[in-house]
Chains A and B, each alone.
Chain A
Amino acid sequence: MKVAVVKYNAGNICSVINALRRIGIEPQVTDSATELAAADRIIFPGQGEAVNTMVYLQQSGLGDVIRNLHQPVLGICIGQQLLCAHSEEGHTPCLGIFDSCVCRFPDSCPAGRVKVPQIGWNTIDDLRSPLFDGLKNGDFVYFVHSFYVPECADAIAHTTYGGVTYASALHKANFYATQFHPEKSGDTGLRILHNFIHLCHD
């Protein structure tokens, strides 16, 4: 099983590599189109903001490479947002795998002020994907983000923050994505990474 981690300008992929090693995978970190095409599984991780990362993905040609992948791809955090159609962050057109538009959390809701970014452990519910085998609704995972994907047909998990119930994981064809960081979500997160690596894929 060859697992590639996309190397680009969205920082801190170190923790994804460490987490994969803990489940027995030695990933290849690469931005080569050939190497990415040859991998069995691809992880598109990252922390960062949409504008600069999209500029980088377009100018480097990596955006097209990612769009044309046929093997299972897992976008994480900004990786998920970049796979959507558009982000409110800098009004940025993104890769368009998912039709969703990424929105910013409101600064307040009827319950009061909303702290943005959301930082910490929140629950995932309405789980409906083999990505979550062995997990249960209400399990906690670790989030750090200011922008979110609204509820949509591609959602495979929901989370509520700041009065908003949003899609905290997505799936469409060979593309999977999580807003949270499985690599920082303890054993729950390692299980999700394990499930992704072992997804049945035709």
Chain B
Amino acid sequence: MNMLAKRIIPCLDVKDGRTVKGINFVNLRDAGDPVELGKAYSEQGADELVFLDIAATHEGRKTFTDMVSRVAAAISIPFTVGGGIHELADVARLLEAGADKVSLNSAALRNPQLVNDIAARFGSQVCVAAIDARHDEDGWYCYVNGGRIRVERTLFDWAREVADRGAGEILFTSMDHDGVKQGFPNEALARLSDELSIPVIASGGAGAKEHFADAFRLGHADAALAASVFHFGEIKIPELKQYLRDEGICVRL
């Protein structure tokens, strides 16, 4: 029997060391401080956190690294950082600051060898391959540059390739579902999860508690990530996890 809990992962966008998007959290001294927010989510029972650096400037990157150190000092659950990772030195810098994993998106598609290099140097568990894909007329295709440019790789081929290259997890965002709050792409998720021997994180699309249950039951996802539904308090993590447990899904309470 597999008792591994399904993970619930809030994702925070960070720019110049501050979280962006209005975040509606009560009892927070500073709702724009990633450390305060990270602690609050950790206390609510988040299983893991993702921080994405959406500033692409050199200055912003340094601030982001400082933030990673502060988060690492304050939080005792795993956290992943992404954004602006182009080479092994970026990974080393973020891990030294205290991150547990790094998430690669466009960089992996531009330079697939980077996945092998990260796995060889730091271990597969460090490398999360983030894939943005859209269901076009001719199938699921990968996109880069925040979804602006289609890459001639199908979601399933690319996911298999990064897994073979040593990625430890796949973070799959469907651009058709992201932000729409109508649920996750469960059919594609299930195919990914069943074909791959590494965990798959469903990202983008959650609007209701039922969507998480579906991602786990129908989509066979190992974890589910969301941003705004948590940030705006539309779904509260303790209630979500209790609901999932009542539905017979193994979660950490």
Contact = CB atoms under 8 A, between A and B. Distances in A.
A115 B1 contact: no
A11 B123 CA distance: 9
A18 B223 CA distance: 26
Nearest to A187: B76
B100 to A, nearest CB: 7
Given A115-B222, A184-B100, A21 B73 contact: yes
A189 B252 CA distance: 14
Interface of B is mostly: loop
Contact of B1 (A160, A185, A190): A160
Given A15-B98, A107-B197, A115-B197, A22 B76 contact: yes
A186 B100 contact: no
B162 to A, nearest CB: 15
A22 B73 CA distance: 8
A124 B97 CA distance: 30
Interface in A145-191: 159-163, 183-187, 189-190
Contact of B5 (A11, A15, A114, A120): A120
Given A11-B122, A15-B98, A107-B197, A121 B4 contact: yes
A140 B48 CA distance: 13
Given A15-B98, A115-B199, A161 B4 contact: yes
Interface residues of B, number: 32
Interface string A103-122: 00001000101111111111
A153 to B, nearest CB: 23
Interface string B178-209: 00000000000000001011110000000000
Interface in B48-64: none
A161 B2 contact: yes
A151 B229 CA distance: 42
Given A12-B100, A18-B98, A47-B123, A183 B168 contact: no
Interface in A1-47: 11-12, 14-15, 18-19, 21-22, 47
A120 B7 contact: yes
A113 B100 contact: no
A157 to B, nearest CB: 13
A121 B95 CA distance: 21
A121 B96 contact: no
Contacts of B78: 142, 184
B4 A120 contact: yes
A71 interface: no
B105 interface: no
Contact of A120 (B42, B97, B124, B222): B222
Nearest to B77: A186
Contact of A117 (B1, B5, B95, B124): B124
A111 B1 CA distance: 7
A119 B3 contact: no
A123 interface: yes
Contacts of B168: 117, 119
A122 B100 contact: no
Contacts of A63: none
7 contacts: A14-B97, A18-B76, A107-B197, A115-B198, A116-B197, A120-B222, A121-B47
The 10 closest A-B pairs by CB, nearest first: A140-B252, A121-B5, A121-B252, A144-B125, A14-B98, A122-B4, A184-B78, A120-B4, A186-B76, A18-B73
Given A163-B1, A187-B76, 10 more contacts: A14-B95, A21-B73, A22-B76, A115-B198, A118-B4, A119-B222, A120-B5, A120-B47, A183-B76, A186-B76
